[in-house]
Amino acid sequence: MMRKATSPIWHPFTQHALQPEMTPVARGEGAYLFTADGRRIIDAIASWWVVTHGHCHPHIVRAIQDQAERLDQVIFAGHSHEPAEQVAAGLLALVPPSLAHVFFSDSGATSVEVALKMALGYFRNIGEPRSRIVVMQHSYHGDTIGAMSVGARGVFNAAYEPLLFDVAVIPFPSPGREQATLDALAALCESDRPAAFIVEPLVLGAGGMLMYPAAVLREMHRICKAFGVLFIADEVMTGWGRTGTLFACEQADIAPDIACYAKGLTGGAVPLAVTLCSPAIYEAHYSTDRARTFFHSSSYTANPIACAAASANLELWRQPQTRARIAAVAAAQQRCLDRLRYDERFSALRRCGTITALDLHADEPGYLAEVGPRLQAFFRDSDVLLRPLGHTIYVMPPYCVTSGDLEAVYAVIDEAVDHVL
């Protein structure tokens, strides 16, 4: 008989019949989470990829406290405030000049929804209506309807298929198959005349931490430009240093027409997202004709407290030591990964910046691989926060993590595999 949970809360991506009780976390500090009963957990996935500088970073916490005493919330239609202006200016100082306008929202998924609506609105307003979107195989862009539509079809969204719109799909550029991906994109751009191509640059996150080279990203961008297709970079996960540079697109030396940033935008402290776009997209909506307005909002658009956290985060990114920590974490990750290089229990060992991933030789690969929950339970009992994607184990820590912490994480991975297999 299944044991029922004692809490009425329905948790995300959780099968409560298999995990009726959650780990109660009392506080966070740096790379650690502390439970009510005194356990210290190494947060090896940055609490779902959001925490960059560490939990409860003093500079960000102070900014939140100060802002909460001045202005907590104001409608953003027809109004603005200094924290939002600071975030917008700070962002535009970090991205290519071709990204000139900032639209605020609440999460990675909503930043993608905004990007898709911008693309379709652009073509409608210039008198060239296009509605087709091109996506990459195995991609994931969020769990709202538009974001699910441009993500991989499968277990994540099978129940909601009637709600999803049709998209064109190009294959993932697996090693040795990169040209097939590029040829497929060029063919679709020429035949379908799509509005946009949306892609996770360099690393596909929830699709299995799949990685591909910057040269492929650069060529995909060139193809879209050649056919007048808008290029949307979903940097919700890959942004804020995860791939080794502030944004993944930097490694391909490209400027997307639309870019989505979230997760680490506030250092992981509170929810906030932005969608940046080129002047042409903004100008297509700029008119005395109110019907050409960009019709998107949420009640908490550009919440002042969240913007204060983001502004403080941007200040940290202007400090040289922040990027030095990125390089240090990447190097430490590589050292740990190298120790497993010839371990036959693992395959496809890979790293991009501060992200590492490896696959287990499991009888049933994929997200629903039975080994996944068993691994996760072992990690939980070992005081390490890792959440495998089926048979894929990945490590994506906050940048304050120490080499000792990472060595402990990989030691638990080594022990866990023997335990579950």
List the chain domain ranges: 25-56+322-420, 60-317
Cα separation, 175 vs 391, whole angstroms: 20
Task: List the beta bridge partners of residue 101.
Answer: 277
Cα separation, 387 vs 373, whole angstroms: 9
User: What pLDDT shows up at residue 368?
Assistant: 85
Query: What's the alpha-carbon Rg for the chain, to the nearest Å?
Result: 21
| Pairs from 162-168 (Cβ < 8 Å, separation ≥ 24) | 165/133, 167/132, 167/133, 167/134, 167/135, 168/132, 168/133, 168/134, 168/135, 168/192, 168/194
Instruction: Read off the pLDDT of residues 301-319 as tens digits, 9 standing for 90 and up.
Output: 999 999 999 999 999 999 9
CATH T-level topology, domain 25-56+322-420: Aspartate Aminotransferase, domain 1 (3.90.1150)
Report residue 268 as tokens.
Answer: 């992981």
Q: How confident is the model at residue 6 (pLDDT cuts 50, 70, 90)?
A: confident
Element (H, E) at 220: helix 214-226
Q: How confident is the model at residue 75 (pLDDT cuts 50, 70, 90)?
A: very high
- Start-to-end C-alpha separation, the chain: 26
Mean pLDDT across 225-246:
98
User: What pLDDT shows up at residue 367?
Assistant: 84
Instruction: Read off the pLDDT of residues 385-412 as tens digits, 9 standing for 90 and up.
Output: 999 999 999 999 999 999 999 999 999 9
Mean pLDDT across 330-338:
98
Question: Does residue 363 surpass a pLDDT of 90?
Answer: no
Neighbours of 11 (CB within 10 A): 11
DSSP, collapsed to helix, strand or coil, labels residue 338 as: helix
User: What pLDDT shows up at residue 284?
Assistant: 98
User: What pLDDT shows up at residue 62?
Assistant: 98
Estimate to the nearest angstrom the gap between the alpha carbon of 170 and the chain centroid. 20
Mean pLDDT across 135-163:
96
The packing angle between helices 304-317 and 320-338, to 10°, is 80
Query: Matching CATH topology for 25-56+322-420 and 60-317?
Result: no
CB half-sphere exposure, 11, CA atoms < 13 A: 14
Mean pLDDT across 123-127:
97
User: What pLDDT shows up at residue 251?
Assistant: 98
- Average per-residue pLDDT for the chain: 96
Task: List the beta bridge partners of residue 105.
Answer: 273
Cα separation, 152 vs 143, whole angstroms: 11
CB 33, CB 41: distance < 8 Å: yes
User: What pLDDT shows up at residue 2?
Assistant: 60
User: What pLDDT shows up at residue 420?
Assistant: 85
Question: Does residue 5 surpass a pLDDT of 90?
Answer: no
The pTM (predicted TM-score) of the whole model is 0.97
User: What pLDDT shows up at residue 366?
Assistant: 81
Estimate to the nearest angstrom the gap between the alpha carbon of 383 and the chain centroid. 24
Cα separation, 144 vs 397, whole angstroms: 26
CB 388, CB 372: distance < 8 Å: yes
Cα separation, 51 vs 249, whole angstroms: 21
Estimate to the nearest angstrom the gap between the alpha carbon of 99 and the chain centroid. 19
Q: How confident is the model at residue 1 (pLDDT cuts 50, 70, 90)?
A: low
Question: Does residue 365 surpass a pLDDT of 90?
Answer: no
Q: How confident is the model at residue 369 (pLDDT cuts 50, 70, 90)?
A: confident
CB half-sphere exposure, 413, CA atoms < 13 A: 29
CB 142, CB 200: distance < 8 Å: no
**How would CATH label the architecture of 60-317?**
3-Layer(aba) Sandwich (3.40)
Largest distance between two CA atoms of the chain: 66
Query: Which amino acid does the sequence have at 159?
Result: A
